[in-house]
Amino acid sequence: MCKNTITIYVPNGYGMKRVESKCGNTGAYGEILLYANCEEKYVKQYPQGWRDVPGDICKHGNYVGNSYCPDHICGQCEDE
């Protein structure tokens, strides 16, 4: 993670509120907020992708959980 800030907009009454957050923090909807350069780094580091946090989809494309809940084991990975 870097020291850059990311601007997000969250619902506030009938409008939106501008909120600045540090790179790597969790957003208003539970997503991880990454600055563009950090996201590029993680895409290279985790080519299989992710849903919530980097690396939570195995090389076979199966969702294997994240650090906030129990891990799901990919049967194909376990058999290797």
Give the per-residue pLDDT at 12. Answer: 93
Contact present, 76 and 61 (Cβ < 8 Å): no
Give the per-residue pLDDT at 20. Answer: 93
Which has more pLDDT, 54 or 26? Answer: 26
User: What is the sign of the dihedral through the CA atoms of 27, 6, 50 and 42?
Assistant: negative
Give the per-residue pLDDT at 69. Answer: 59
Give the per-residue pLDDT at 16. Answer: 95
What average pLDDT score do residues 25-48 get?
85
Give the per-residue pLDDT at 43. Answer: 83
pLDDT class of 13 with cuts at 50, 70, 90: very high
